Chains A and B, each alone.
Chain A
Amino acid sequence: MTEEKMLKVEKIRRGTVIDHIPVGRSFQVLKILNISSDPGITVSIAIHVKSKKMGLKDVVKIEDRILDSSELNKIALIAEGATITIVEDYEVIKKFVVVLPDIITGILKCSNGRCISNMENSVKPSFTLLSKNPLTIKCHYCEREMETDEIFGSIT
């Protein structure tokens, strides 16, 4: 078994492995998952891991936590193309790649302070994906275009 495979699944009994994170993005992944506020969760981070596909990548293993769909959408925003492996009793029960949808709803707010979506509670912020590289989205309401750093800072 290669070192890469061990990192992914070997040592985890139950939880989630997030593989193929673009190098340097693992800390953002942890941030949006709010890991630091839960001391009961064991997290392993591997950064600058050699990868045939990506050159270098980051990998995050989270024990005893299965991510929900909102969290997966957030990961898609930060690390499009990341591979999610869900493990129960040392067995891989699900493995898939997160893909960014064309319409992104409910996981970030508009960075424009004057946007109506930041004023009215009844509004669910919604964004259209304009480009994956560089990551660019457009607010459905005020039409503000947001790029990577602005997007990462606006995840709720």
Chain B
Amino acid sequence: MWLNRDIVSIGDLSVDEIMEVIDRANEMLPYASSGHPKSPLANKIVATLFYEPSTRTRLSFESAAMRLGAKVLGFGSLEATSVAKGETLSDTIRIVNSYSDAIVLRHPSEGAARLASEFADVPVINAGDGAGQHPTQTILDIFTIWKESGPVNGKSIGFVGDLKYGRTVHSLSKALSLFDVSLYFISPDELKIPKHIKKDIEKRVAVKETKSLDDVISDLDVLYVTRIQKERFPDIEEYKKVAGVYVIRPSLISRGRKNLIVMHPLPRVDEIPPEIDNLPQAKYFKQASYGVPVRMAILDLILRGE
């Protein structure tokens, strides 16, 4: 089932499969900081091809591979590669296919990982393709909810900020709609969740859309915060006005449920001020740290198949 499987889009995985990854990630948790004592992926080589810069994703994939005993090769910038000489993605993938046992790909073009999976015999893991899919981020987000807030079913989960352009929100809300949850979309009018995504999600779960975080904060078990980007607004004053409304203040958190958790895909800017960091509700650094066990779980599943 898992052996040699490509992980391209979260839509390729069923709820049971997502939960299987989550269970495995939980088993990996003790080894995520100290290394797996059995080095189950010794003799395996994982290639990380990053056509775009990324800190957390690339380092956590490489850390995950090494914690399981695998070796890592690849690139994080294009300057010294054949890509800089104009090589196509399909050619690069054909070559790297023979150098490695799995390929982790980050690429600016949407669908790049799907294409790569068609040219590679070894499994391809999508580590983000432009504004498209980033399935391991989605799984680590679900893992964080499960680990920090308990079973996903029954939860009320609110997304706040830029819901229009934020790909993490699109993938995660779609994946969560496969569970028994209630979803809240909280954003200014300019940055509402795209209609086609909302329409699809509404087929399966209850959805509430609002501009006011204050109105719904007490209903939420999970608050997933995203950054509102300046570039989305032609007028900087308009940006400041809008962004200011969605800053997460301690007073807001205090009106939430006692067991509320606050998540963020990071990097954050001003939307979560530092005074939130030490509150028990703040889970975003924990969330980032779960990148390693979740990616260990995925590498282990697709490279060993068990």
Chain A residues with CB under 8 Å of chain B are 110, 112, 114-117, 119-123, 139-145
Contacts and interface: CB of A to CB of B under 8 A. Distances in A.
Interface stretch (B106-114, B144-152, B153-161): B106-114
A144 B110 contact: yes
A141 B114 contact: yes
Nearest to A139: B111
Nearest to B130: A114
9 contacts: A115-B111, A116-B114, A116-B129, A120-B90, A122-B90, A123-B115, A142-B109, A143-B9, A145-B196
B9 A116 contact: no
Nearest to B108: A114
A109 B1 CA distance: 33
A87 B63 CA distance: 67
Contact of B114 (A114, A121, A140): A140
A117 B110 CA distance: 9
B30 interface: no
A114 B90 contact: no
Nearest to A110: B111
Contacts of A123: 90, 115
Across the A-B interface, give the 7 residue pairs with the lowest CB-CB distance, nearest first: A141-B111, A142-B110, A142-B111, A116-B109, A116-B111, A116-B112, A141-B114
A115 B109 CA distance: 5
Interface of B: 9, 11, 88-90, 107-112, 114-115, 129-133, 196
Contacts of B89: 116, 119-120
B196 A116 contact: no
Contacts of B109: 114-116, 119, 142
Contacts of A122: 88, 90
Given A116-B115, A121-B88, A141-B115, 20 more contacts: A110-B111, A112-B110, A114-B109, A114-B130, A114-B131, A116-B107, A116-B109, A116-B110, A116-B129, A117-B111, A119-B89, A120-B88, A120-B90, A139-B111, A140-B114, A142-B110, A142-B114, A143-B11, A143-B111, A145-B196
A113 to B, nearest CB: 10
A115 B88 contact: no
A142 B196 contact: no
Task: Tell me if A's interface is mostly helix, strand, loop or mixed.
Answer: loop
A108 B80 CA distance: 36
A142 B112 CA distance: 8
Contacts of A112: 110
B155 to A, nearest CB: 26
A123 B196 CA distance: 27
A120 B86 CA distance: 11
Contacts of B9: 143
A144 B133 CA distance: 11
Nearest to A122: B90
Nearest to A125: B111
A121 B114 CA distance: 15
A119 B108 CA distance: 11
Given A114-B108, A114-B109, A114-B110, A143 B132 contact: yes
Contacts of A140: 111, 114
Nearest to B115: A116
A3 to B, nearest CB: 43
Contacts of B11: 143
Given A115-B109, A115-B110, A116-B110, A142 B90 contact: no
A10 B111 CA distance: 49
A122 B94 CA distance: 13
A114 B130 CA distance: 8
Name the residue in B88, B108, B115, B130 with the highest tally of chain A Cβ atoms < 10 Å from its Cβ: B115
Contacts of B196: 145
A122 B118 CA distance: 12
B86 to A, nearest CB: 12
A62 to B, nearest CB: 36
Contact of B132 (A117, A142, A145): A142
